Structure 1
């Protein structure tokens, strides 16, 4: 007797309607271990299929000069943030994936840039963020755009980390946050909020010259999850004493601030030459103003790479300029769901097909409602998959 099955063969380039979440409490290592153990299958799959890691980062890591850059950078992070190295070691042990592969993911383009003076990914990678600051609408909207291998390989981490002794250069004893994380990555480099009321999203920026022996942006944004106020956030981004190895843009606000709502966009650039501090330019907007940012420096004078990431950022910003100034959550959703551009749409999706880049999800932080909505599909035509409450420290 024969039977037919309606089961579909798994296609890694097809959107899955699922985002797993872990609620976890413990030390940095314990939290990392439980994240690694819980999401081991996702982490292993991602490490196995992520082309930049396997085709660029690991071969360079196996070279003498690559070993020097890797070891210098690891030593620097261990000195400043030993707790986050413990956390990453926990992910490594829990997932049973070699630590060096996970650390290479956090170094990102540093190895190919420093060793070969090369950006190994010539693709329109990047995210788009919009902040609206109106009397009746306070919103941060963000598209999470990444290489196609990331499409279904991410999860939420909602963590409460308690340390007996102060940890790292900023002497932190407690952290509590929720973050969207790529598989095998520390929290902090996508969309996030912490229990002090800091809400932020990240746009990758690609400086032409990166640094060995400085702090990779992934660890700076991980540290940002501990910030209690805007002063601490600036301190973390400047990373005085070391400075950033690479760059990014941070769109942020604090829910518990006094007075009118203000939003900040911080452009962070690599420390220059022997300077031991990140380059930093911060734009602050008051009620009635908005922020729009993609993947190109708009104010900080940092020489950038050329290629598709810049072309894509310019076209997405051009798309935003065709709209009226956004004044509501609905306006932000229309803009982040736009697919009208010729080459580089704001919402990127060629369903079920391998391509360089996809918008893997869209997040909308509604700061008045204190909710965080995540859309797996285009938010213009779909409901959010999940709406999370933002729980703050009393």
Structure 2
């Protein structure tokens, strides 16, 4: 594997000082898991290299813990857990590392999030308000999933869209489009697949994370291949292992029979004596709405304390000051709300903000479009409107299950 030395973070590179760009990079790629990873890495090498060198959790925490004996142990046993289940997704990361000429272990550490410092040092994990806001509107003629993608400020301008068709003998064929942070597997943000899955992800911060369990980035990557709601639930349960961390998924299936149903699934880390994730699902039938930020609303999972929870509480309070959304415009207005003094639904305070809303997505399940905004959607037109291309008789005629 080709590697390179990435200098320590000494402040932001020039690319972090250029302000919010009205640009959506996108790659269309087809091939094996390693090949699509390599093409992503090669195409976005500079963005990935910049992101690694400026990604504060990696440079200030993960790499230091990784150098300890206990850190190596957690890293190795979690990598082994993933390789047993999803060797193809490990190959995707290897391809990205090779294509971008960055170390594999640094990309994998980023996929582990706070697992190493939490398990090894007992630290609380991410305390900053890193997360997202999702709004579901299931009204007659207005079937909308809206999502603010919030991330560390260095992620601004360090993301892209992956439109991938994965074909590898003996494995399930996949075709999807996902917003992806630089160097990360697709899946842990928002997107859709050609079976009609439309989804968004909200980070949830459990107080205690698990070693030798499945990091959430791999579970949500696997979600991109599911065909229906039953498969989605099995994927989230991750029976035999269970999630190492928490997150929630907002989803619907455009090709399902009957009335439109949206679902919010809260996923909790596997408990010590369990081999599967904790899971609680809320369904929005026609005429109902769902809102979710970055706090457990139903599962009784102990959470971190601090601003990520405070931010989520304040954003939910701001959402509740609006009338329940009846249409696309209502969803956009909620996601554009900046009325909070400290925590806002659309997060954009200033150049030095720790967290920003880096993109907004509006899925219209009737028009079958995905509109992407790079700035506040109530004041701007979408920079890109993607028609959702769904299954047909000429696609997936020879799919195989993993």
Q: TM-score range by the shorter chain?
A: over 0.9
Matched with 1:34 is 39
Q: Please give the residue correspondences for 1:169-180 in structure 2 after superposition, counting only pairs within 5 Å.
A: 173-180=172-179
Q: Please give the residue correspondences for 1:90-101 in structure 2 after superposition, counting only pairs within 5 Å.
A: 90-101=95-106
Q: Deviations over 1:121-152 (max 9, x none)?
A: 32111100001001110000000000000001
CA distance in 1: counterparts of 2:126 and 2:391, whole angstroms:
40
Unaligned runs of 5+ in 2: 1-13, 393-402
Give the C-alpha shift of residue 11 in structure 1: 4.7
- Native 8 Å contact 2:133 2:149 kept in 1: yes
User: Could you say if the C-alpha distance between residues 59 and 155 of structure 1 is closer, same or farther in structure 2, counting changes exceeding 3 Å?
Assistant: same
CA distance in 1: counterparts of 2:139 and 2:218, whole angstroms:
32
Matched with 1:110 is 115
Matched with 1:385 is 383
Q: Please give the residue correspondences for 1:125-274 in structure 2 after superposition, counting only pairs within 5 Å.
A: 125-166=130-171, 173-274=172-273
Matched with 1:357 is 355
What RMSD in Å do the two structures reach over aligned CA positions?
0.9
- What TM-score, normalized by structure 2, do the two folds share? 0.93
Give the C-alpha shift of residue 19 in structure 1: 1.2
- Native 8 Å contact 2:127 2:304 kept in 1: no
SS at match of 2:309: helix
CA distance in 1: counterparts of 2:184 and 2:266, whole angstroms:
22
CA distance in 1: counterparts of 2:289 and 2:18, whole angstroms:
34
- Native 8 Å contact 1:12 1:149 kept in 2: no
CA distance in 1: counterparts of 2:173 and 2:261, whole angstroms:
26
CA distance in 2: counterparts of 1:54 and 1:120, whole angstroms:
15
1:66 to 59, 62, 71: 71
Q: Is it true that 1:311 corresponds to 2:310 in the alignment? A: yes
CA distance in 2: counterparts of 1:305 and 1:13, whole angstroms:
33
CA distance in 1: counterparts of 2:367 and 2:262, whole angstroms:
17
Matched with 2:10 is none
Give the C-alpha shift of residue 90 in structure 1: 0.3
Give the C-alpha shift of residue 342 in structure 1: 1.6
CA distance in 2: counterparts of 1:106 and 1:121, whole angstroms:
14
- Native 8 Å contact 1:146 1:358 kept in 2: yes
Q: Is it true that 1:19 corresponds to 2:24 in the alignment? A: yes
CA distance in 2: counterparts of 1:281 and 1:16, whole angstroms:
38
Give the C-alpha shift of residue 13 in structure 1: 6.1
Give the C-alpha shift of residue 163 in structure 1: 1.4
CA distance in 2: counterparts of 1:62 and 1:12, whole angstroms:
31
- What TM-score, normalized by structure 1, do the two folds share? 0.95
Q: Deviations over 1:353-389 (max 9, x none)?
A: 1221000111100111111011111011111111111
Matched with 1:56 is 61
Matched with 2:5 is none
Matched with 1:4 is none
SS at match of 1:163: coil
Give the C-alpha shift of residue 274 in structure 1: 2.5
- Native 8 Å contact 1:22 1:157 kept in 2: yes
Paired residues, what number? 379
CA distance in 2: counterparts of 1:358 and 1:148, whole angstroms:
5
CA distance in 1: counterparts of 2:16 and 2:307, whole angstroms:
26
- Native 8 Å contact 2:125 2:304 kept in 1: no
Q: Is it true that 1:281 corresponds to 2:280 in the alignment? A: yes
1:43 to 36, 39, 48: 48
